[in-house]
Every structure is written in C-alpha cells, then in structure tokens.
Structure 1
Amino acid sequence: MMSVIAVQSVKMVTANMLLSVFFVSGALAACPYNPGLFITAPKNMEALSGSCLRIPCNFRAKPDEEFKSARKTFGVWIKSSKDFAKYPQNVIFNSSWEHNLYPMKITGDLSQKNCTTLFSSLITKHTDTYYFRIENWPFRSTAECDPLQITVRGSAPRPRIEISGDLKEKESVTISCSASTPCPHSPPKLTWNLQQDPHNNIEENTDQTFTTKIQKTITLSDTHDGFTISCSATYPVNEGREVKTAEERKTLSVSYAPKNTSVSISPSGLVSAGSWVNLTCSSRAKPPASFSWFKNSKDGAIRVAKGKFYSVSVTSVTDDYHCVVTNVLGNQTSSWINLRSAENSDSSLIWASALGGIILILIIIICLAVCIRCCKTKHQTPQQPQSQGAEVLDMPGSWDVVRNQF
C-alpha cells in the first residue's frame, strides 16, 4: 500500500514539473527573457471609428545596447506580428517613410525617448495588436514584451456617473460625469439634467490618457430620492461632420428622516362608549422606521403601543393619542388625535348650547341697557333757540336781557 502511494506521489510531482516547464517555456516563447526595447504605454486602448487615438508612449533600451540619442532615430509600428524580420509586410508605419499604410504620426521626441503617437481616421478594421520598434542604426529593436491592443468601436462609449459622499439628506455630495477622451483634439461634449451648459474639463490621467469631466456639488434632501441623473457624451467624428452620442443614467437612493407623519382613525364618525376604533400612523422614511403610540395623561405622554396600527376602546371621556416615527436619521411626531364617544359628544353639545344661551341673554341685556341710557340722555338735552338773522349770545344772563325787552 505504501509503495502504491509513493508511486502516485512521484507521478503527481512529475506531472506538475512538466506543466511548469510547459507554461514557463510558453511564457519565454511569448516574451524573450532579454528584449532589447521596452515601452511604457497602456496595454489596451479603445477608440471611436471616425475619430483619432492619442497613444502615450515612452521607451527605454537595454543599458548595454548602443542607443545614441544623437543619431537619427526612427519609430516603427508593426501590426499583428512582432517579428519584423519574418513579417516586414506588417509594418504599417515608419517615420522615415514619406507615405505610410496607416494614418499615424509620432508626435513625441524620439531623441528624448518619447514615442507618443497620433493615430488618425480610425476605422473598425484597425482593431488589432500593435508593436513598437526603434531604428537607431546600428541599434534596432522591437518591444516584443509590450504589445498594445487597440479596439476601434463603431458606437460611442457611455459616460460614467460617480458620486462622492453619503447619500443622506443634508449631506453635500459631488456628482461627476466623465467620458474617455481617446482623441483630445476632438473631445466629447458632456451635458446633463443637473445644470445647463456645464463647463467641460479635460483632465490627464496617470497613464497619460485623457478624460473629459463635468461635476456639481449639491446638498441632498428627501426630494432627491428616486431622482434620475442622465448624462450624455457627444463625440465629433469625421472631422466634425458627424456626431455620435451615448447616454448614461443613474437613480439616486437618498436616506432621510421621517416626513409627513399623520394619524387617521377608522371608523371616522362618532361611536358609542366601549366601541373599538383603529388608529393608523402614516409617514415617509428611508430607511424604514419604527412606530410608537403615546397617550396623553396627567403625568404627560406615556407610550402605550408599538407598530403602525393601534386598536383602542373608546371611553366616556376624551382621550388624546399621537404617534412617533423613528429611524436612524431622526424622528417625527404626529399631531394629537382626540377620541370621544357619542355620549360624550352629546353632553358637550348640551353644555355648549347652554353656555351659548347664557351668553346670548347677557348680550341682549347689555344692548337694552345701552339703548335706555341713550334715550334718557337725548331727552334731557335742552334745545338750542333758533332765530333767523339774530346772533345767539353765549354770555351769562343774555337770555334774561332779551326776555325783559319784550
């Protein structure tokens, strides 16, 4: 038994060694151990048909190679195959040629080891794997370990909507919409429903590619919950004669404290003492809230139940209830609701009627007293003598003098 286990162990080790040799040899075959040239560039890039692609690129040669910046240096792009010697027909661009197969131009300074390239008038057939090569006679080498995969799409890429901060009411968050900008010479134009004519910024990324971005800072409230942000990216293509547009949408999910808290009663009409009624507490809250019921007493409000619904028996006296809704962001209290029986209502009506009658009688008595006093005052006021063409004398004793004259 032990010998069988030992044989199986040897077979497993041998198989693992063979697999290791296979994968290592494959890796070495795909990428030589000591290539003469390396480039720093994105591994995968996407572009839009009808537009251009800026390829950020820097290279370095092996220290022991005889690359001299003083010598004339040419940059070469090879499609599909990295083996220049075996497949020279795959050369699609050479900076020493006057006419090239592909519309490319090296905009970087090769003497400063900058191989940045502008690939213009792209079409979907340009989707392929590309290798960069340097010719600095007698130094010549291809960056065999650094292939560049370029994918040319016929439709515009969708922009990205990002939100920094917590989606809670009263919190300030920065909302941004960004779109990849493979061709900085013809960047996309971003628009959205958060503001009109937003300012578009073109930012350089860490890998030397570019992104177009718009952003806005807002203070959240419960009204933003469920609001859908829509952002569109419009790319000019074919030298601006056409445009291609893509849109992205994102719906906000904002948390907020309870709002619009109220209490309803069923049945809503007057009921007799001893009958049961159902109280319902309504509110808007996110995340979901808990419900508590309170009854007014001489010692203040006391909690009598939990839950959205509460059934209570109506008594012969008036009882006051309200609910409190609570979640992690806060709470809100409803207004008081009065529970009273029909008998209690009738008694209150009788007292109200009696009080109203007494007030009416008092008003009538006061009015009569005022009228009587006014009549007496008018009766006691002496009439002023009237005489045409005679002047009324206001001096004391003037009336007696006139009377004596007659």
Structure 2
Amino acid sequence: MKMKQQIIIFICCLQGVWCQNWPINLPDKIEALSGSCVTINCTFTIENKYDKDLTDSAAGVWYKTDTKDDNNIVFRSGSSNLPFKGNITGKLKDKDCTTIFYDATSNHKGRFFFRIEDGLKWTYTHKSVFIDVIDSPPKPTVQMFKDQMEVEVQEEVLEGSSMYLRCSAKTLCSSSPPTLTWSSTDRLHLNESSRLQLDQQNQTEIISDLNFTATHLQHGVTFICTITYQLQQRNTTAQNNITLRVQYAPKNTSVSVFPSNSVLEGSSVTLICSSDANPAVLIWYRENGGQLEELQTGCNLTLNVTDRTHTGRYYCQARNRHGTQNTSVWLDIQYAPKISLFSCNRTDITVCLCEAHGNPSPKVEWFLSGRPVSNSTNTSISEERLNSTDLRSFISLHQSLTHTDTLQCVTINTHSTASEKIQLYPCSHETNIHIIIFLIIITLILILYALTVGFGLYRIKQLSSKLKVHNDAGAYASLQLSAPVSEYETLNLKKDNTQ
C-alpha cells in the first residue's frame, strides 16, 4: 500500500512538472502565540476536469518541513493519532483548506505544505507557509493624525489642533479576541473607541482611536497602547507608545529669587525665571528711568556682588511666535545705615538735625551727654521721612547747657549702627547779655581812646602853630636890630663852618 501511495505521489508530481503547478493561496508567514491557536488561511485550485474527484469525503493533510515522507505528516483531517490537534474549518469540496491548530507550542514552528486526498491526490509543493511561535504578541502600531492627516511622530502640533491617535494590531488566533487599551503618563481622561476590521490582506485587525484637541497640558505626555490576549493559563500583553509634542504660547510665567529678594549689599543673588511654553525664550529686563533695559537671555540672572544701585524692578519676558507673557520681581538690596548730615543752630534754644539713610530704613535716637533723650517739656523731637531709605530727625533743646554737654545722633537698622557727636556750649540769655555789655564797654573804650588821641593831636597842632608864629616874630626883630654883614665876614663864617 505504501509503495502504491508513493507511485501516486510521484505521478502527481510528474503531472505538476509536465503540466502545471496548480495554484494554492497561503500566507508566507504566520505568527502563533504560544499556548493559543494558529489559523492558516488556505484556498486551492485544481483543473476543472478533476472537480468530480473532489467529494465531501476529501481529506486535508499538512506536511512539516520540505520532505514529503509520511513520517512528516503532522495533521490529517479526521485523524486523531497525529502530533497536531486541529480542524479544517474550510470546506474542501469548495477548495477551502483553512485550518486551525490548537495549543501552539515550539513544535509548531516550521514550514508546512498542504496535500489534498480523495479520488484526487495532490501535494502543493511549490507553495508553503512558515509558522513562527512567539511567547508574547507583537507590539501594536501607533500612529498620530492631525486634522485627519497622518503626521510624523517627532512632529510638533499647535495647541488647539484636532488630533487622534490610532493603535492597531493584526489579531492572532485566540479563544477570545484581544483587547486594546490606552493609558498616559499623566493619567489624563481618555476618550477611546475600538473596532475589528479586515486589512488589505484580508486578515483581522483590531483598531482603537483616541480623539482629543491638543492642549498645553498634553505636551510631553506619553500615550501608551496595550494589547492583551486572554489565554487559558495566563494573560499576555504587548505595548507601544507615542509622545505628544505641542507648541503653545507662554503660560504661568513666574520668577523666584535665591536666597531671597531682600539681600545684604555685597552678597550674591540669583533670579530664576520659569514659564510653561513651547518653545520658550526667556529674556531679562531691568526698569531704568521709566524704560526697560535688556540684560540677558536665559533662565537665570545672577548678580555676584550686589550694591545698592542694583535695587529695582526686574522683568522676565517669556515669548515665542505664539505669544508673550511678562512677570516681574522687586530686588531689594539692603545696607547698613549712615549719617549724611548732622548740624546744630544755637540761639535762645538749640536746634539740631540728623539725616540718616539705610535699608531697611533706619530709626534715629538722641543722647545728651550719654543719656537717652525723648520728648519732654525741655526737649522736642520730630521726624521727616524723605523716602523709603532716608530719614531726617530734628531735636530742640530748651534747657541750659554746660561746656561739657555733648549731643549724639545714633541711627540703627537690622544690619548695623552708626553715630556722630557734637560738643555743645552754653548759649543762655544771660550769657548773651554779658557779651553785649562786654561789647559795649569795648566800644566805649575804643571811642574814648579815639577821642583822647584826637584831642592830643589837636593840642599838638595848636602848640605847633603858636611856636611857629613866635619864631617868625623873633626872626623879624633880629633883622631890624642887626647891621648888614659884610661880604668878607660872610666868607669867613662859611670857612669856619667848613672847618
């Protein structure tokens, strides 16, 4: 009998070589999930003249590997003593050889050929199918669509775009259909819909669409699609994902300051700007004379050594082609107090002012000869706030002072203390009278002295005038009583004078 079958197979093969290869439709490759079933979609043809030899009693046979020996027959319809359990679900009389194998294992992996046996016996040697047994299902395919047009996964979409994500997978044979589920890294509420359909290869495909409108909340969110097969012994899954990138105008722009926005002069301070935007460009400005002065770009603005000129309002602007948003912070550079002016005016009362500046704004305290001074019947103190950092304090003293009294102005803030002293001298009403009397006496003495000197000069002038009149009269009398001197006597007199 075996010899007879071999001869028939040989004759059929010769017929295929000499005549033609009857077509058979098989997939090139099938993936089967371990522990599940595997379905081979199969149709075949024969010459019309052999249709009468194809009856309801026809059997379908599957060979494994390229050798067509009986020992490699793994399945025959109607037989239960072969390695593979299954069933031909198609109707062989209608040339449908679709077959299902149950409980796939690694033994099912290999290449398979189909043979029809009835009054007609024929092995389709020119076409085979390869079965691959896998432990977990293939990853589903994830695609992104914007306004019904597919876009690349890396492409960024604009906020407000109508979007949907599609997850699809070819179904493997299983007792129950697989399921597709969506999840996201931010646990967003997802509106999904799933369906089964046939693809272009007439294979069953499961599809799930996720519909939404793109918002900034979805930027950077990863959407995960999971396919799940429920097997008899276990569930098995596979996943694929896509990360959405959304472009949108700046939102929630804010500034923080480290260590704080009030720092001591000479220390370092860093201003940090953050904004929810894609893309984001951050620009720092400073208010200067009512105008905004651009400083730099970037998240952080660091002032390594601060001084009081750095006090002011700083702006961070977040901008992109979709919009702009600004925020600001006041930077307060604090410093120890200093006294810029300390002076006194003494009349009937002593009035002094002390002007101090510092940040925080300082307070001023007064001390008279080391003792604190406050408002009283003899003392009045008032203050004038010039601005947020400058203070002017006045003190009026209505009391007698000694030569040893000192007035001290002390200015204080949270960072330090500064002080200055002034020596006070008596300046009472009696002292003023004594000075006036003294000045009057001095004036009288000077007037008396001037009168005395003037009278003396007058007397001297009178005596000089009388002496001159007297001398002139004596000389005239002498000229009248004396004889004229001869020339000879005159010459002798000159000679004597010469000697």
Give the TM-score band, short-chain normalised. 0.5 to 0.7
Matched, 1:236 2:208: no
Query: Equivalences for 1:100-179 in 2 at 5 Å?
Result: 101=82, 102-135=84-117, 137-138=119-120, 140-153=121-134, 155-160=135-140, 162-165=142-145, 166=155, 168=157, 169-179=159-169
Q: C-alpha separation between the residues in 2 aligned to 1:281 and 1:117?
A: 66
Check 1:123–1:347 CA distance in 2 against 1; reply closer, same or farther (3 A cut). Answer: closer
Does 2:244 correspond to 1:262?
Answer: no
In structure 2, relative to structure 1, the CA distance for the partners of 1:132 and 1:327 (3 Å cut) is farther
Corresponding residue of 1:221: 215
CA offsets 1:292-326 (integer angstroms, 9 cap, x no match): 22344678645443333445776769754312234
Paired residue secondary structure (2:71): helix
Say if 1:103 and 1:120, in contact at 8 Å, map to a contact too: yes
CA separation of 1:58/1:303 partners in 2, compared to 1, >3 Å: closer, same or farther?
A: farther
How do 1:7-406 and structure 2 match up within 5 A? 36-61=21-46, 65=47, 68-72=50-54, 74=58, 76-82=60-66, 84=68, 87-95=69-77, 97=78, 99=80, 101=82, 102-135=84-117, 137-138=119-120, 140-153=121-134, 155-160=135-140, 162-165=142-145, 166=155, 168=157, 169-183=159-173, 185-193=175-183, 200-225=194-219, 227-238=221-232, 242-248=233-239, 250=241, 252-257=243-248, 258-265=250-257, 268-269=261-262, 278-286=270-278, 289-296=280-287, 301=292, 303-310=294-301, 319-327=312-320, 330-339=322-331, 350-351=385-386
Output the amino acid matched with 1:210: T
Task: Output the amino acid matched with 1:78.
Answer: W
| Change over 3 Å in CA distance of 1:245–1:72 after alignment to 2 | same
Answer yes or no: is the 8 Å Cα contact 1:167–1:220 preserved in 2: no
- Deviation, 1:126, is 2.0
Q: Using the alignment, how far apart are the partners of 1:126 and 1:201 within structure 2?
A: 30
Q: Deviations over 1:273-310 (max 9, x none)?
A: x99865432334455x3322234467864544333344
Structure 1 residue 231: Cα displacement = 4.6
**Could you list the runs of 5+ residues in structure 2 that have no partner in the other structure?**
1-15, 146-154, 335-356, 363-383, 389-499
Distance in 2 (alpha carbons) for counterparts of 1:332 and 1:250? 32
Q: TM-score, normalised by structure 2?
A: 0.50
Q: Contact 2:191–2:210 at 8 Å: present in 1 too?
A: no
CA distance in 1, matches of 2:190, 2:164: 17
Seq. identity, %: 27
Conservation of the 8 A alpha-carbon contact between 1:75 and 1:106: no
Unaligned runs of 5+ in 1: 1-30, 354-406
TM-score, L = length of structure 1: 0.60
Contact 1:164 1:174 in 2 (8 A): yes
- Structure with bigger RCO (C-alpha 8 Å, 6+ apart): 1
Deviations 1:130-155 (A, max 9, x none): 112234655x43332321111233x3
Structure 1 window deviating more from structure 2 (51-60 vs 312-321): it is 312-321
- Residue 129 and residue 319 in structure 1: after superposition, are their counterparts in 2 closer, same or farther (change >3 A)? same
- 1:35 and 1:143 in contact (8 A); partners too: no
SS of 2:127's equivalent? Answer: coil
Distance in 1 (alpha carbons) for counterparts of 2:358 and 2:310: 7
Q: What is the aligned length?
A: 309
For residues 285 and 67 of structure 1, the distance between their equivalents in structure 2, rounded to whole angstroms, comes to: 75
Within 2, Cα distance between the matches of 1:71 and 1:253?
61
- Deviation by residue 1:47-75 (Cα, 9 ceiling, x = unmatched): 123322222223345xxx45544542545
Secondary structure of the corresponding residue to residue 122 of structure 1: coil
Amino acid corresponding to residue 218 of structure 1 in structure 2 = F
Instruction: Give the structure 2 partner of residue 384 of structure 1.
Output: none
Letter in 2 for 1:323: C
Partners of 2:23 and 2:44 within 8 A in 1: yes
Q: In 2, Cα distance between the equivalents of 1:198 and 1:51?
A: 28
Q: Which has the larger radius of gyration?
A: 2
User: How far apart, CA to CA, are the structure 2 residues paired with 1:259 and 1:338?
Assistant: 21
Deviation, 1:42, is 1.8
